[in-house]
Chain A
Amino acid sequence: MLATKPSERLSMFTRALENNPQENVTTTTNIKMRVQNLNFYYGTFRAIADVTMDIPENRITAIIGSSGCGKSTLLRTLNRMGELVAHTRTQGTVLLDGENIYDRNMDVVLVRRRVGMVFQRPNPFPKPIFDNVAYGPRLLGVRGQELEQIVEQSLRDAALWDEVKDKLHESGLALSGGQQQRLCVARAIAIKPEVILMDEPCAALDPIATYKIEELMLTLRSAYTIVIVTHNMQQAARVSDFTAFMNMNPQRAGVLVEFGPTKQIFTNPTKPETEDYITGRFG
């Protein structure tokens, strides 16, 4: 494999790209989120440098790049989770439907209700399955029959209902890893967010569970805008409509190298850095 030329090795993504059911994705859609000149600092260290990118509505956008280049940090700026870490600072704007989520008057709680998140390691609460999904709606004051309907629908949408409908009162921690992650997806979509951020959602899962999560993403695409950080380039090629490639600049800050339709990034990247990374020839 290593002896083949880069152009030939790009073909290893052909099958993944063929399996990607993207339909006319490059045709213009609304821009759901706009990241403009974003900088993020941990103390004095700049982790993200001047990132500007548009995230299209009802599309899956993948962020790829080497470890430590700021993919997760960038993702976490999109619902202001980054500021949970002490001594961090965000500069620049992130527009959600034209509104800056870093605006002084913007309530962070409302931002996170509109921009949900699924984490790398499944993190169900130590509560029954039902209560896990009901957690978000209950915060919004939903009770009784309406709550039950929302829980069932969310579990159905997350392709988990048939597996758990008879044990809704068992702990969410009793499920397998893949089921836990789908439970976390159900929990996220129960409050009907507009955007779902996924931070390497399959990193802790086996291939079958990964496949289920990927299928789930494709069905959710019609209703939600999805941004996924992944180390798995095959996964990016299989599911995403757009791909952002990040890399570190000489100061070790994350920069956006290239953004475009997934097919183009994987078959005909414009930047040599992107091609080096995708063909495994970098570093």
Chain B
Amino acid sequence: MNPAQARVLPGTSKRGGKAEPFGSRNARYTWRKITNVVMLTLTGAATGLAIVPLIWITVYVTMQGSRFLNLAFLTQLPTPVGVPGGGVVHAIVGTGIVVAIACAIAIPIAVAGAFFAADHPNSPLGIAIRFGTDVLSGIPSIVIGIFAYTLIVLPQRHFSAFSGGVALAIIMLPLVLRTTEEMLKLVPRNLREGSLALGASNWKTSVQVLLPAALNGVVTGIMLAIARAAGEAAPMLFTAFGSTGLNTDLDQPTATLPHTIYIYAMSPFKDWQDKAWAAALMLIVLVLGLNILARALTWWRARQMGLNY
């Protein structure tokens, strides 16, 4: 190739056989500017559209729900239909219990499984864990509800908070496992090697070095899983079922917020429909509050440790 030709760089136009310098303002330059502005506008508009539902839902639920949200709603049991006042304390407590059971079951299994999968990504079991959890996270929650129903409710012949917890645990398991695994993989390899080089076993390395370094991400993953599980109504239909009174017995049917919203919203009574809005607001506030709390805790901890990656 002749050197004079080689100097004509791609993207520069030739006029009278001379290459335009890169900095010149020509038609191509203008075209690029226009394309850039158009694309920026489009992506910006898409971003705006993406957050519209979030803002809309939050504002609407807050407007509708806040009218009926009061201390009695948070602390009292439901009153019979037609009697004014009363609240959903039974559902708030019930959601807390069912989610706590789900966490107790899902988190240890998910975190331990994530350690294995992150440590042995190419082993048959590691591949099986990843594939299995991916499939599991795609199963509709109502199917998981029927599964828990068949597994626990049918043999026991009664609905229970425990069976609801198991159903939610199955929903949380893949979410927590996969986020934990990803977070563990993000821990710099030289931290792991530093520990192993001191004669630490894989187990010690995981617990003492990898988990603390990945904790922020792991906690975020758990929070997202809780938020997802706490909002599930479908599996509750077959498991925790619901109750009208306060129940703290794990072996008894228990009301939960999403299930209560479902029952109240579908009811013909104006009073119940109003309470459904308030309960929906309650659920959003609970999940949001939990998220903020977790983020604040992990942020504080990261500062303490001087974590900067």
Q: Please report A residues at the B interface, Cβ cutoff 8 Å.
A: 79, 81, 84, 86, 109-110, 112-113, 116-117, 119, 121, 123-127, 135-136, 139, 170-174, 184, 187-188, 191
Q: A127 near B194 (CB under 8 angstroms)?
A: no
CB of A77 to closest CB in B, whole Å:
13
Q: B306 near A174 (CB under 8 angstroms)?
A: yes
Question: B71 in the interface, Cβ–Cβ < 8 Å?
Answer: no
Question: B47 in the interface, Cβ–Cβ < 8 Å?
Answer: no
Given contacts A123-B191, A123-B193, A135-B208, contact A171 B200 (CB under 8 A): no
Given contacts A81-B193, A171-B305, A173-B307, contact A139 B199 (CB under 8 A): yes
Q: CA–CA, A109 to B305, complex, Å? A: 28
Q: Which residues of B, 184-218, contact A by the 8 Å Cβ criterion?
A: 188, 190-191, 193-201, 204, 208-209, 212-213
Contact of A173 among B195, B199, B204, B305 (CB under 8 A): B305
Contact of B194 among A79, A86, A125, A170 (CB under 8 A): A125
Question: B122 in the interface, Cβ–Cβ < 8 Å?
Answer: yes
22 residue pairs from A and B, CB less than 8 Å apart: A81-B193, A81-B197, A84-B193, A86-B122, A109-B200, A112-B198, A113-B199, A116-B198, A123-B194, A124-B194, A125-B208, A125-B209, A126-B191, A126-B213, A126-B305, A135-B195, A139-B199, A139-B204, A173-B305, A187-B194, A188-B197, A191-B199
Given contacts A86-B122, A123-B190, A123-B191, contact A171 B197 (CB under 8 A): no
Q: Please report B residues at the A interface, Cβ cutoff 8 Å.
A: 122, 188, 190-191, 193-201, 204, 208-209, 212-213, 304-308
CB of B206 to closest CB in A, whole Å:
13
Contact of B305 among A116, A127, A187, A188 (CB under 8 A): A127
Considering the complex, give the chain A residue whose CB is closest to the CB of B304.
Answer: A171
Considering the complex, give the chain A residue whose CB is closest to the CB of B122.
Answer: A86
Contact of A126 among B193, B197, B307 (CB under 8 A): B307
Considering the complex, give the chain B residue whose CB is closest to the CB of A126.
Answer: B305
Q: A173 near B308 (CB under 8 angstroms)?
A: yes
